[in-house]
């Protein structure tokens, strides 16, 4: 597998470590009155799409960037690669 790193270009997937669904960026608010349920879902409830799937990869043997890779689970085609930090900022995560 090849991941086309947004800063570094195509790199072998062997340089990366897989984590899982990119929804892990959306850590719930621990102050929410339903925090326990929200965290339960955050940790354990996953979609299993036949098609495009956004997932987190860490460029461990590279620039140490976390990436959000959009991969088609049917074809393995990778249609988009983004810096996870940019995605997180865009989704309103900050401090």
Residues interacting with another protein, by CB under 8 A? Answer: 1-2, 7-12, 14-15, 17, 19, 24-25, 27-28, 30-31, 35-36, 39-40, 42-43, 56, 58, 60-66, 75-78, 83-85, 87-89, 93-95
Residue partners of 24: CB distance under 8 A and separation at least 6: 42, 56
Which C-beta is closer to another protein: that of 49 or that of 60? Answer: 60
CA nearest neighbour of 28 among 18, 37, 19, 20: 37
Which C-beta is closer to another protein: that of 47 or that of 94? Answer: 94
Q: How far is the CB of 48 from another protein (least distance, A)?
A: 19
Which C-beta is closer to another protein: that of 49 or that of 77? Answer: 77
Q: How far is the CB of 66 from another protein (least distance, A)?
A: 5
């Amino acid at each position: 597998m090849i991941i086309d790193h947004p800063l570094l270009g195509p790199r072998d997937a062997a340089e990366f470590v897989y984590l899982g669904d990119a929804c892990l960026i959306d850590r719930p608010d621990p102050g929410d009155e339903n925090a326990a349920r929200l965290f339960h879902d955050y940790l354990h409830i996953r979609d299993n799409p036949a098609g495009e799937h956004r997932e987190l990869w860490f460029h461990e043997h590279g620039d140490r960037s976390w990436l959000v890779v959009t991969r088609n689970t049917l074809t393995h085609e990778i249609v988009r690669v983004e810096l996870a930090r940019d995605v997180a900022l865009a989704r309103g995560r900050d401090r």
